[in-house]
Structure 1
């Protein structure tokens, strides 16, 4: 299943591969980790709290890292946070997360697992069981098959906890003074940090301790915003289990201006085609800033580094070829080659380079709506979701930002009529990069 070609790197140690691709931000011990990953095949974990029913592109960075680790023989432990999701991680947030019902959390966990199955090869017979409290270690039913990942849900050991036992045996290892200095808590102090959220570090640290104790998980990976939680887990495992474990965090996927990538006008860039269409997904990567092309090629594709450097070195109009390759490769990875080809065709048609309108975002409407006087153009673009209000629609026209069937719209009161459709289709363009087809 692994999508990574053998020629992705000349290195044989996955640490060097991750370093070469620019993923690694912080580690607890560079030399020890590089040696460990070079001489052993280890279990490592990344946690995903089920805050939605789908993964977004921010999660995808972590998925790619697990794919690299699996490629080089290590065992990914995908930790789905059915327990920690009950609380919510305060890291990187200025407000408290919306509380979810247990049913919603479970549904989200199930959706996450289905998406992970697309990218990672699991040993479905492996199971973890038995942890019924702080004093009751769990166990794995078998050693995972070589090269296969495993999946656990921390609800299996967090929900049965006795609060008094947990505070006595785990809470005693944490200094409140040190916790308050952690970045994940510091930025919340002004607006208020609930005691509920204050528990999160203890719970995530306990996750690491349980997995290190019960099935020899040796490393935790995460985004750079998880550094304080990773350190908490390492320290707790040392104190409570006398085991040495390690941590590594990765650069968040940000633009050259320091803003998080994967945000669109509609919200997050989702990996589910029903929430973000393959065309929209493709277009996002096709339109990244010139300064971000090299970083995206490094981190989000499996092209060899010499090819990444060649593409990133292109200038001016030639750089658009690199963006097209980037968009195609990432869309192929997430949605498959067929959908990537369709998205590419749609994009080429939209930008006048050939291709078919069949693959652009399309809305089917009743022909009767365009008979007679037809429909006002502003009403139409608002209906299609291209503008949020009539006022924004009028402004778009006044600024020369709306094109219908290849003609710039200058009349705010223009009507769209059935005779304007060619073969039942009408192409509408808002700004330079937003295209939509109306079909009757």
Structure 2
């Protein structure tokens, strides 16, 4: 079914978010006549979300844009277990203090994407530890566990793939799908939640929750999953050659975030605009049809729109201006990362590590040997090279796309 009547499913379909959904006709009818509270869960395993989480955040934004209510579920409880989906090994177990710290830092990732408040379509944020942390083991096994068969649980990809690769799957992780299913039940009871959204790897978990809600409460619940978002070269969205593209400015500067989108493959421009910006579909069709060097202008539009959404319009304008200074005018730019140097000189290796372009001196040495390090616009080929530091900023570069400044305090 693609001839949707509701604003919600039309919007999701037109922008390329729909991979699978349960009972499309009933969901479409419900979305057309009432406000649907819908949720996505985010485990707090790091102190920032990244671009790999962005399609899910945008799903909640689309839910709100089409007149429905987003529920952001922070996995304070499920993080203690760890989602085995797509993993070959068990996640590191965080203590309560680490989870609380990550929770506080991740909260801000959503504020530029969603409107929070007390209104009927305002977003709310909840912590599943509020109900999972109160569960008693024996009653939970008796009341909830009896609705799950080992036979069926073994067929889910999160379990099957781990076993096929002969990687250990702990009993702790095996319980994750039951806890996630129970989340849906609690959200249905507490907030009238009717819809769970997620990536394609969450399909089994979502269906579990729908079936559990029907069995124990007689609730009619629904699920929608997105396709796996990959780049044109086949690599997974959310990663670059330098690692994760974080959403928190403390982990990745707005300038580097802007650059990530500016460096999008020509073939991905239209798809990424539909998924990750609010640019009108007709305008996207015009921009993605550009050929040759003109497509670079479309990429700047994408970078401006994506950065404005994550970091605000002011940060996006500053990032674009810095990029123009660095690449078009040969300047240093005012929004580049800065490393403060207290002494009169610093080695090229210490500078590359200190500014964050390399994780170790060994990596920095390999970069210098490969010709990727530059001071000003001059390549540095001697790993023992010492940089004289004065009162003027010194531009340091790693490859063609990473630039920063060495500065006296």
Q: Give the conservation status (yes or no) of the 8 Å contact 1:345–1:355.
A: no
| SS at structure 1 position matched to 2:324 | helix
Question: 2:40 aligned with 1:40, yes or no?
Answer: no
Task: Give the counterpart of 2:397 among 429, 432, 435.
Answer: 429
Q: State the Cα distance separating 1:108 from its structure 2 match.
A: 2.6
State the secondary structure of the residue aligned to 1:77. strand
Shift in Å, 1:387: 3.7
> Counterparts of 2:347 and 2:385 in 1: how far apart (Å)?
6
Q: 2:130: which partner in 1?
A: 156
Counterpart of 2:294 (choices 318, 329, 348) is 318
Q: 2:115 aligns with which of 121, 129, 139?
A: 121
**Cα deviation, residue 102, structure 1:** 1.9
1:83–1:154 contact (8 Å) kept in structure 2: yes
Partner of 2:250: 274
Q: C-alpha distance in 1, partners of 2:258/2:309? A: 11
**Aligned-CA RMSD value:** 2.3
Question: What are the ranges of 5 or more consecutive residues in structure 2 without an aligned counterpart?
Answer: none
TM-score (norm 2): 0.91
What is the match of residue 85 of structure 1?
79
Question: What is the 5 A alignment of 1:176-215?
Answer: 176-189=150-163, 190-215=166-191
Match among 140, 147, 164 for residue 121 of structure 2: 147
**2: CA distance between counterparts of 1:179 and 1:101?**
28
| 171, 174, 189: which one aligns with 2:145 | 171
Q: Provide closer, same or farther for how the CA distance between residues 234 and 348 of structure 1 changes in structure 2, counting only shifts above 3 A.
A: same
Q: Following the alignment from structure 2 to structure 1, what is the Cα–Cα distance between the partners of residues 43 and 385?
A: 49
Instruction: Describe the SS at the equivalent of 2:328.
Output: coil
* Cα contact 1:345–1:356 (8 A) shared by 2: no
Q: Deviations over 1:268-289 (max 9, x none)?
A: 2222111111111111111122
Pick from 379, 382, 387 the counterpart of residue 408 of structure 1: 379
Q: How many residues get paired?
A: 402
Structure 2 matches for 1:275-314, cutoff 5 A? 275-314=251-290
Once structures 1 and 2 are overlaid, which stretch shifts more, 115-124 or 275-284? 115-124
- CA offsets 1:91-138 (integer angstroms, 9 cap, x no match): 1111111111123223333333343334322235xxxxxxxxxxxxxx
Shift of 1:227: 0.7
Secondary structure at the counterpart of residue 351 of structure 1:
helix
Q: How far off its partner does 1:356 sit?
A: 5.8
CA contact (8 A) 2:332 2:395 kept: no
> Would the alpha carbon gap of residues 176 and 438 (structure 1) be closer, same or farther in structure 2, given more than 3 Å must change?
same
Contact 2:52/2:239 (<8 A) preserved: no
Residue number among 19, 23, 35 corresponding to 1:29 in the alignment = 23
1:136 paired residue number? none
1:262 and 2:230 correspond: no
Tell me the equivalent position of 1:361. 337
Match in the other structure for 2:313: 337
Q: Secondary structure at the match of 2:223?
A: strand
- Asked if the contact 1:84–1:155 (Cα under 8 Å) also holds between the matched residues in 2, the reply is yes
Tell whether 2:14 aligns with 1:20: yes
**Separation in 2, partners of 1:354, 1:341:** 18
Distance 1:378 1:155, change over 3 A: closer
Query: CA shift at 1:146, angstroms?
Result: 2.1
Question: Deviation of residue 394 (structure 1)?
Answer: 5.0
- Displacement of 1:206 in angstroms is 1.0
Worse overlay, 190-199 or 347-356: 347-356
Contact 1:425–1:439 (Cα < 8 Å) also in 2: yes
Deviation of 1:215 after TM superposition, in Å, equals 3.5
Distance 1:296 1:354 in 2: 29
- Whether the aligned pair in 1 keeps the contact of 2:112 and 2:309 (CA below 8 Å) is no
Distance 1:31 1:342 in 2: 46
- Contact (CA 8 Å) 2:74, 2:103: kept in 1 or not? yes
Change in CA separation of 1:438 and 1:243 when aligned onto 2, cut-off 3 Å: same
Q: Between 404-413 and 205-214, report the one with greater CA deviation.
A: 404-413
Tell me the secondary structure at the aligned position of residue 359 of structure 1.
Answer: coil
- Shift in alpha-carbon separation, 1:101–1:369, aligned structure 2, 3 A: same
